[in-house]
Structure 1
Amino acid sequence: MTTMNVSLPDSMKAFVEEQVAQRGYGTSSEYVRELIRREQDRDQLRNLLLEGAGSGPGEPADDAYFDGLRDHIRTRSGE
């Protein structure tokens, strides 16, 4: 793992230290890593939503659709 130094104003440093203490993180690095992971997840979700929005209309998810999925799974599990 590599190291990255980040400069923060005193008020932000105090906020991070408070979050570490209140939320059970061992270190400020753990807290920052969690924030970065959340942002990565948000970016991934955003990209998936944009991809879905650009893909055009899909089929309706009605009873027949779910019956077809169940049949497909039953067929594959029997292989």
Structure 2
Amino acid sequence: MATMNISLPDAMKAWVEAQAETGKYSNSSDYVRDLIRRDQDRADKIAAMQAVVTRSLASGVSPLSMQDILEKARAHVEANGLNKSA
């Protein structure tokens, strides 16, 4: 595993250390890795949604009303777990 040194303000360093001390993480590095994994997952979800929007725009005018589109989008988000905060 590669090593990376980062600089944090004292308040952020204290926060990271406190999160590691909760017992959920084995150490500060484990906490930071979890944050990065969550950010990667979030970016993947945004990219997937953007791909849907791009395909939709390229397909032309929709025969659905705006209300129908919003309801379908909400159902898609719910069905695919895209509404969970990271």
Fold conserved (TM > 0.5)?
yes
Cα separation, 1, equivalents of 2:16 and 2:44: 25
Q: Aligned-pair distance for 1:23?
A: 4.9
Task: Determine the structure 1 residue equivalent to 2:18.
Answer: 18
- Structure exhibiting the larger radius of gyration computed from Cα positions: 1
Give the TM-score, by structure 2 length. Answer: 0.62
Instruction: Return closer, same or farther for 1:48/1:23 CA change in 2, 3 Å cut-off.
Output: farther
Aligned residue pairs total 58
Cα separation, 1, equivalents of 2:53 and 2:30: 34
Task: Determine the structure 2 residue equivalent to 1:27.
Answer: 27
- Segments of 5+ residues of structure 1 without an aligned counterpart are 59-79
| CA-atom RMSD in angstroms | 1.7
Give the TM-score, by structure 1 length. Answer: 0.67
Structure 1 stretches (4+) deviating beyond 3 angstroms? Answer: none
Percentage of identical aligned residues: 47
